[in-house]
Amino acid sequence: MAAVGDAGVIGTVELVWRSRLDRTAEIGFVFNPDHGGRGLATEAAAALVNWGFTEFGLHRIYGRCHGRNAASARLMARLGMRREAHHVASYLFAGEWADQLVFAILADEWRSRPVAG
Ligand SMILES: CC(C)(COP(=O)(O)OP(=O)(O)OC[C@H]1O[C@@H](n2cnc3c(N)ncnc32)[C@H](O)[C@@H]1OP(=O)(O)O)[C@@H](O)C(=O)NCCC(=O)NCCS
């Protein structure tokens, strides 16, 4: 799913099936920093999470990011995702061992989350 504004495509969010049996998908997002800091990525990601749970009957959605990717971690926390893991030096990133954070949310948790406003 691409987020489109007056300036054209400003970012993308994706939901990838990881297990049909477990009804689990992984969310990912990339936004142009020129359009960051306004909640647009959060809004787009929330719409996709909602779509996954309501239209596709998903049970669990998770997301992963680099251990130093604070903006991504904050975004997933804002969605109500729980930080479930911090894998230390678990993968190679730009030639160096990097930590990886894993966030997740279940369908029941999404449905019962407090809605702002
Ligand atoms: C991850 C990424 C999309 C986050 O971008 P972002 O600009 O922080 O996200 P948003 O557009 O949702 O904006 C949220 C920020 O706007 C602020 N904000 C302002 N108005 C807001 C509103 N109405 N609603 C929500 N947030 C708002 C939030 O407080 C937040 O700032 P903070 O993180 O400093 O607290 C971006 O950093 C990115 O593309 N990174 C590179 C790709 C990447 O790392 N992807 C993840 C790998 S899995």
pLDDT for 115 = 75
Residue 47 lies in a domain: yes
pLDDT for 107 = 98
Q: Which atom of ligand 1 lies nearest, measured to the CA of 70?
A: 33
pLDDT for 8 = 85
Residue 107 lies in a domain: yes
Residue 117 lies in a domain: no
Domains identified in the chain, total number: 1
The 3-state secondary structure of the chain reads CEEEECCEEEEEEEEEEEECCCCEEEEEEEECHHHCCCCHHHHHHHHHHHHHHHHCCCCEEEEEEECCCHHHHHHHHHCCCEEEEEEEEEEEECCEEEEEEEEEEEHHHHHCCCCCC
Residue 45 lies in a domain: yes
For residue range 8-52, list pLDDT tens digits in order: 899 999 999 999 999 999 999 999 999 999 999 999 999 999 999
Residue 30 lies in a domain: yes
Residue nearest to atom 48 of ligand 1 (CA): 65
Return the CATH number at 85. 3.40.630.30
Distance 2 CA to ligand 1 centre (A): 16
Residue 116 lies in a domain: no
Tell me the residue range of the domain where 48 lies: 2-111
For residue range 60-100, list pLDDT tens digits in order: 999 999 999 999 999 999 999 999 999 999 999 999 999 99
